[in-house]
Amino acid sequence: MKKLFLMLMLGFCWTIQHAQAQNDAITRFFEKYMDDERFTVVYVAPKLFDMVGKIQTDDPDWETYREVVGDLTGLRVLTADSITDGIALYKEAVSKVPANEYSELLTVRDGQENVRIWIKDSGNIIHELLLLVGSPDEFVLLSITGKIDLDKISTLSKALDVEGIDQLDKVKSSKN
């Protein structure tokens, strides 16, 4: 009985570790370039989203943003402009996205600009939205985690002044 219990626990731990290893592909990509001076890096920890969600004010715009960020748990942004290898970075990042975990929501290629958006969901709940943008002189990786409402997420693009995040507006228009 002890052996069976031990084997079940080891199997469970391996399964969790294997799943985390797949999820960590995007994290490892982010970490690989976060110290590279060609990139602008933004990381918002879950605690900050929690704190922001508790701020009370009479500003109606703030209430709209608070509604959007209230269920978010993390934000990672990696951007680079004026680079010469944006397409190569884009292709490298795309190759790291575990196809069995993410559903592709949108793909746009306009000239040399590429945009792809994936979601990770279970049922009607979206847990992560992943955005990649690549062109010869630009690269954007954006990962938003938490409980995500696609109808409200484009509001976030107006609040954040990050190159490439305006692509989130395409999520809303692709749904309609």
How do the domains of the chain map onto residue ranges?
24-175
User: Which regions of the chain are under pLDDT 50?
Assistant: 1-22, 173
Cβ atoms within 10 Å, residue 166: 15
Residue 132: the pLDDT is 94
Residue 135's pLDDT is what? 93
pLDDT at residue 4 in the model = 33
pLDDT at residue 168, rounded to an integer = 58
Rounded-to-integer distance, Cα 80 and Cα 60, Å: 33
Dump pLDDT digits (tens) for 24-70.
688 888 999 989 988 999 998 888 888 877 887 788 777 777 777 77
The pLDDT of residue 78 is 92
Q: What is the pTM of this model?
A: 0.72
pLDDT of residue 111: 92
- N-term to C-term CA, the chain: 55
- Cβ atoms of 117 and 105 closer than 8 Å: yes
pLDDT of residue 62: 77
Cβ-proximal residues to 49 (8 Å cutoff; 6+ apart), any chain = 69, 70, 72, 73, 74, 75, 146
Strand arrangement, sheet containing 40-44: 40-44, 72-81, 138-148, 125-135, 113-122, 103-110
Buried b (16+ CB within 10 A) or exposed e, 121-138: beeeebebbbbbbbbeeb
Measured in degrees and rounded to the nearest 5, phi and psi for residue 96 equal -90, -15
Number of helical (H) and strand (E) elements in the chain, helices listed first:
6, 6
Question: What single letter denotes the amino acid at residue 131?
Answer: L
pLDDT of residue 157: 59
Beta bridge partners of 31: none
CA 28, 81, 137: angle at the middle one, nearest 5? 100
CB 71 within 8 A of CB 125: no
